[in-house]
């Protein structure tokens, strides 16, 4: 596959109105803002996009709106992972029909505990359902299922359109195992914003950065400065995000990110209940953090 995943990709927040319905206009305006701020890709329906909160029909509407808003300016990634193989294959097939989607991101099955051979069968079936490139998405704290590096290697060997993996394990040794023990064509992306620079230095391709919804220029600069060889400035940018990351731990992280975008004046609306955050303590912590970035 010729497609290369690179840079800082934003798992864009899905804008909702006050009734928790999809707000297409606000969503597309927010995507335009992110692209103009320098991010290198737009990812519709990642964890920060609340993929778990939407129906099959809503997911297609959201992805179509993202493609329309991006208008070819940066690559479009779309999340199609579901709990079962059957539903994941069905959604993958439908999303693959949307012209303008460049790559799919497929989270491992969640809620149900499965073994590594099950993951191989699952991803093999999904890869066979599309000609689009696929990123595996590893986030064991949320799914309960870790994609072992040997499993990632086997999947990539069997499925040529599996071109990379996003590692949100938060375990840098796990990321290193992906980089060091798989085919060189497998592009490894950081899923933890605190590990972007270190993943790049180890040979990774970039990151899917939830924080880039709130600080797109800062997060994109980590990659841009690294590519320029300015490691000191890249490290300074990487370290600067720590204060915000600390606040994210005060609640559901992607809900805190959405609340932060709201407080910065972006019309992204609430998270779908029960994940919406109403906390004076978190709001104040976010406002205090914003002062550090002025």
- Residue 197, phi-psi category: left (phi > 0), alpha (psi -120 to 50), beta (remainder): alpha
Length of the chain (residues) = 294
Report CA-CA distances (Å) from 169 to 13, 64, 149.
21, 29, 12
Start-end of H helices in the chain: 24-36, 56-70, 85-95, 116-128, 140-143, 149-158, 172-181, 196-201, 216-228, 231-240, 242-248, 253-263, 280-292
Please give the Cα distance from 157 to 160 (Å, whole number). 7
Looking at residue 108, what DSSP letter applies? P
CA angle, residues 194, 199, 204, in degrees to nearest 5? 145
Helix (H, G, I), strand (E, B) or coil at 18: coil
Query: By the 8 A CB rule, do 191 and 26 touch?
Result: no
Under DSSP, the state recorded for 41 is E
Would you call 123 a catalytic residue per the annotation?
A: no
Catalytic choice (52, 137, 149, 178): 137
> Which one of 166, 177, 178, 223 is the catalytic residue?
166
Supply 273's token pair. 């209940």
Closest CA to 119 of 87, 90, 151: 151
Which of 136, 127, 209 lies closest to 174, judged by CA? 136
SS3 category, 212: helix
Q: Is 97 marked active-site?
A: no
Active-site positions read 137, 166
């Amino acid at each position: 596959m010729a497609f290369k995943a690179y840079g800082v990709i934003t798992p864009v927040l899905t804008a909702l109105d006050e009734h928790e319905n999809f707000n297409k206009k606000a969503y597309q305006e927010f995507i335009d803002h992110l692209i103009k701020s320098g991010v290198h890709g737009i990812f519709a329906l990642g964890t920060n996009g609340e993929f778990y909160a939407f129906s099959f029909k809503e997911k297609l509407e959201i992805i179509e709106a993202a493609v329309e808003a991006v208008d070819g300016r940066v690559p479009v990634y779309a999340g199609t992972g579901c709990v079962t193989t059957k539903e994941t294959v069905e959604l993958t097939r439908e999303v693959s029909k949307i012209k303008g989607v460049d790559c799919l991101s497929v989270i491992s099955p969640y809620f149900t505990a499965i073994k590594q051979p099950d993951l191989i069968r699952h991803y093999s079936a999904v890869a066979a359902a599309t000609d689009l490139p696929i990123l595996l998405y590893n986030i064991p704290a949320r799914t309960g299922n870790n994609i072992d590096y040997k499993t990632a290697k086997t999947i990539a060997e069997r499925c040529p359109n599996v071109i990379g993996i996003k590692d949100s394990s938060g375990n840098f040794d796990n990321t290193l195992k992906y980089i060091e023990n798989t085919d060189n064509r497998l592009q490894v992306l950081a899923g933890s914003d605190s590990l972007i620079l270190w993943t790049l230095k180890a040979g990774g391709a970039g990151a899917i950065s939830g924080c880039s919804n709130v600080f797109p220029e800062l997060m994109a600069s980590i990659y841009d400065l690294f590519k320029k060889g300015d490691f000191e400035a890249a490290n300074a940018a990487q370290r600067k995000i720590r204060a915000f990351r600390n606040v994210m731990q005060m609640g559901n992280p992607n809900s805190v990110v959405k609340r932060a975008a709201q407080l910065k004046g972006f019309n992204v609306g609430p998270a779908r209940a029960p994940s919406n955050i109403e906390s004076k303590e978190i709001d104040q912590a976010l406002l205090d953090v914003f002062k550090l970035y002025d």
